[in-house]
A and B are shown apart, each in its own frame.
Chain A
Amino acid sequence: MLEVEGLDAFYGDFQALFDIGFTQKSGETLALIGANGAGKSSLLHSICGLTSETGTIRLNGAEIGKLPPKVRAELGVSLSPEGRRMFSSLTVRENLQIGANTGRPGPWSLDRVTELFPILEEFANRPASLLSGGQQQMVAIGRALMANPDLLLLDEVSLGLAPVVAEEVMAALASIRGESQMMTILVEQDVSRAIAASDCFVCLLEGRVVLDGVSEGADLGAIGHAYFGEDDA
């Protein structure tokens, strides 16, 4: 269970988020949608503790909003960052192993990750920087899963990937959806893909929540209006 209340987030003097609030139930996938600069990545970063933020963030009842990133990671927050952020001097295997640093028990291991993304087995000893964008994205997701998170944050996993590769990554994510109590927050450019891959959604506009709801049967027209900040006609 993730509860966010009255969350404001800042990068230096710049305020990126205003009074964000939502709740997410265990086992659910939440799609975070919004235009460029709406604050999607900022929200993920503030949940990780990478911005300076005020407000309440509770993970499974524990207040994590004041804790440093390392402690939040140890409590089960895990991020696959935008741009993938591979450790370029580490091999694929080492990148994945780094993810397990927090030492949290759970189903995810090197074997399990390579089962999900078989190509990574083949490239295990290559420097991660030599992989294609799609393969790097798989490493980034795998690295985040290796932490056995309670809350998996996926930032723009299909950005810059060929459509067929993006489908492959989304299919892998769909295959693990709902198999455990792990929560996932998915930031995704493609709104219909995001809605299809989630249980609920939150739409941001200029750092504020403008619409949220259940994904199944969601009104794509209303989401479109919220997305672009048009007044309801």
Chain B
Amino acid sequence: MIWIETLINGLLLGGLYALFGLGLSLIFGVMKIANIAHGEMAIGGAFLAIATANFIGLPLVLTVPIILLMAWGFGFALQMAVINRVLGSDPMPPLLMTFGLSIVVQNLLVEMFGADNRSLDIGALGTASIQIGNTSLGVFPLLMFAIALALFGALHWSLHHTRWGRNLRATSDDPEIVGMMGIDRRRVFAMVMGLSAALAALSGMMLAMRGSITPFSGGERLLIAFEVIVIGGLGSIWGSLIGGLVLGIVHVIGLRLDPASGPLYGHLLLLVILLAKPEGLAGKARSR
């Protein structure tokens, strides 16, 4: 029974991991760049939420959508004002740019909040659980998982059934030619960066509701996001979901077997995948 519970808990944690990976995967899929500041976007969003909820005293149901909107605006503006200028055939400038941004955000957070552990208090929801047979499941982890699944579904649907999604996929395929189809690729990139930042902030807030964070948590989150998209398969949103779930299960089982292992088994899994199936679990081998 304990193993079923462990497995389910791993799956539920995997939903959160998948969300971390999803934002990074979108950026990579459309712009072919890695956003090193992805973890800081998540943690920065969470700290802004902590400031809004704990210090100003706004209820969480208002805080979360406000932070999501702010994150979206931040991502959009960042892309329009900065990253679009350095995008080109060379992947290094955007990489360095976002690396610099991650350091700036991290230091700003330390300056403003100190290095203490902090969390977002969700009250009774945090400890509520439901009993299914002999298995006890947390309501909040279930809720997070449901939100993650719903977001993956909604994104998939909009990519394939809306004009926005069509333009986004076309821009990902051939950004040079889409201008001739009336698409402003810089705007498409900015929309994607906004969406990615909002997804990052959401997963950061969920992390802070589930446990605690410090201004230094971003790097570790970025690592998880990278592992998720490499394990699942680069540039595919379902790859992120699979990668997240698998990584979550491996982390939880690893900790159950060996409580001192930390994320070790996740890293080992990454190594195995890189050796055995470098295109990822859901990825197709690509020739280009």
Listed in ascending order, the chain B residues whose CB lies under 8 Å from chain A are: 163, 166-167, 169-170, 172-174, 176-184
Contact = CB atoms under 8 A, between A and B. Distances in A.
Interface stretch (A99-107, A199-207, A225-233): A99-107
A86 B181 CA distance: 12
Given A73-B181, A101-B183, 5 more contacts: A77-B180, A79-B180, A89-B173, A90-B170, A98-B181
**Secondary structure of the B contact surface, majority rule:** helix
A98 B179 contact: no
A39 interface: no
A168 interface: no
Contacts, number: 62
Interface in A46-98: 48-50, 68-70, 73-74, 77-79, 81, 85-90, 94, 97-98
Contacts of B163: 97, 101
A73 B182 CA distance: 6
Contacts of A103: 182
Given A90-B170, A94-B166, A98-B166, A85 B181 contact: no
B170 A85 contact: no
Contacts of B177: 79, 81, 85
A70 B186 CA distance: 11
11 contacts: A69-B179, A70-B179, A70-B184, A73-B180, A73-B182, A79-B177, A98-B181, A101-B167, A101-B183, A102-B181, A102-B182
With a 10 A CB-CB cut-off, give which of A68, A69, A88, A103 has the most chain B CB atoms. Answer: A69
A48 B173 CA distance: 20
A88 B172 CA distance: 10
Contact of B169 (A68, A79, A87): A87
Contact of B170 (A49, A68, A98, A147): A98
Contacts of B184: 70
B182 A87 contact: no
Most buried by B among A78, A97, A101: A101
Nearest to A68: B179
A78 B166 contact: no
